[in-house]
Amino acid sequence: MAQCVTHKKCFPTREFAEDVLIEAQTTYEYAAGTGPIAVYQCEDCGYFHLTSRGPMSERLAQYLANGTIRRQKEANQWLDKLKRK
């Protein structure tokens, strides 16, 4: 995997980074106003990173608005419960 001078995780494409962004939103519980909300292309390494600053990713905003994130979070919670049995 590529290394960046920023020490942030590097993703090869915007699409891949957005997939990771969506996965993070469905997996982790972020406090209001925290956590990654967008991706950007790094001027130092040329790869893509997640960021909690700037405008929210259109795809993330759409998934939040239509309930996709909420449904996937619920599914992940049920999977965790079933794994514990």
Cα three-residue angle 40-10-18, rounded to 5 degrees:
50
| pLDDT value at residue 82 | 85
pLDDT digits (tens, 9 = 90+) for 37-84: 999 999 999 999 999 999 999 999 999 999 999 999 999 889 888 888
3-state class (DSSP) for residue 39? strand
Output 56 or 3, whichever has higher pLDDT.
Answer: 56
| DSSP code, position 73 | H
Q: Are 44 and 4 in contact (CB under 8 A)?
A: yes
